[in-house]
Amino acid sequence: MSEKKSFFKHYKFQIPLWVLIGTSVAVALQYGVDEKIVVFTTLVLGIFTQVFAGLGALIAMIPIIGPILIKVVTIPIFWIINALGHGVSIVAIKKGYTNELVKSRVLTIALLIGIVLGYIMGNLIPLQ
């Protein structure tokens, strides 16, 4: 039988990293480092260390309000990514890359269908 880990045991490496990043940002802004550099560095560190996933999990643990906050933050990000994809598609069509565009769209749809089917099968078929 697998035993469930507590939140702090599961994120024992990320929590000190969150504290380190937060402290570094505060110190950098206090000593006059350009805000653009601070934002870029924070994003790069966050992406490569999965800090945002851990913070999202921490926020989602707040009863009632947490899941709503996560949805309010993440849904617009997906809309922006979708809009960027459509913009790139328009430019690609105008430049004559229609075959490549069709191939990429088919691949994207296949990936999305695979994710949805995997999610459904994961919920229907228990592991134990």
Rounded CA gap, 14 and 73, in Å? Answer: 21
Q: Which two tokens stand for residue 36?
A: 């653009």
Whether the model pTM is above 0.75: no
User: pLDDT value at position 109?
Assistant: 85
Domain-by-domain residue ranges, the chain? 1-61
For 71-88, give one letter per residue: b (16+ CB within 10 A) or e: eeeeeeeeeeeeeeeeee
User: pLDDT value at position 45?
Assistant: 74
The residue ranges of the chain whose pLDDT is under 70 are 1-4, 48-49, 127-128
Give per-residue pLDDT as tens, 56-88.
Answer: 888 888 898 988 988 888 788 778 888 888 888
